[in-house]
Amino acid sequence: MHITRGFTGRPRVADPGLPPGQYDAGDDWPVLSAEVTPELAAADWTFRVDGLVAEPRTWDWEAAHRLPPSAYEGAIHCVTSWSKFGVRFAGVSLDAFLDLVRPHESATHAVAYSHTGYTANLPLADLTGGRAWIAWEYDGQPLAPEHGGPARLLVPHLYFWKSTKWIGGLRILDHDEPGFWERNGYHERGNPWEEQRYSGD
């Protein structure tokens, strides 16, 4: 009788933690910046939330640190196709800031802006519910300037371009308004699990 050999390799099972089209960058953490890293001291850092809110407000470093601490441990996914696992950020949940400014019923989106001028748009729903942070620590250390220190936005369930470094504030809107990369062809939402890389994906 004729014996057909089966496949010898193990079946290829997609890593459940790796979104489609991404690879695991391991220990590397590439720096991706459209701007020169600013000289922004923690003492000069501020974070403002305004627009369609009941009480627009600005926090300085100390005021922000008086809010309840919150951490994220998990993965981040860059649209250039690297993902990084086991990252540990600490800061404050965006919910803590938004609860204090109280967005109007009509609010649907936000534009996050950097102290350097970079912007990224996000649905408000992606910034609430414990899924977004203002982060100032990485791996128990102050966040490095090239990675957005003193503080950056962290929205790890979306592609990393949304996670605005040197975060300066959020403008709360009742419509979507494209940010820096979104005006240059990137997707308005950027969900890595649906490969929303470019406008129209």
Please tell me whether residue 186 binds Mo ion under the rule CB under 5 A: no
Relative to beta strand 46-51, strand 167-173 is parallel
- Distance between CA atoms of 135 and 160, rounded to whole angstroms? 13
Asked if omega into 30 is within 30° of 0 (cis), the reply is: no
Please tell me whether residue 161 binds Mo ion under the rule CB under 5 A: yes
Least distance between ligand MTE and beta carbon 83 (Å): 11
The residue within the footprint of Mo ion, chosen from 31, 32, 63, 125 (CB under 5 A), is 32
Beta strands in 21-147 (DSSP E): 23-24, 46-51, 57-60, 69-77, 82-93, 109-114, 119-123, 133-138, 141-142
Please tell me whether residue 32 binds ligand MTE under the rule CB under 6 A: yes
Please tell me whether residue 191 binds ligand MTE under the rule CB under 6 A: no
Please tell me whether residue 136 binds ligand MTE under the rule CB under 6 A: no
Residues 71-90 that bind ligand MTE (CB under 6 A): 78
Please tell me whether residue 78 binds Mo ion under the rule CB under 5 A: yes
The residue within the footprint of ligand MTE, chosen from 21, 34, 58, 71 (CB under 6 A), is 34
**142 SS3 class:** strand
Sign of CA dihedral 82, 83, 87, 89: positive
Please tell me whether residue 158 binds ligand MTE under the rule CB under 6 A: no
Which residues contribute to the site for ligand MTE (CB under 6 A)? 29-35, 78, 114, 116, 118, 147-148, 160-161, 163-166
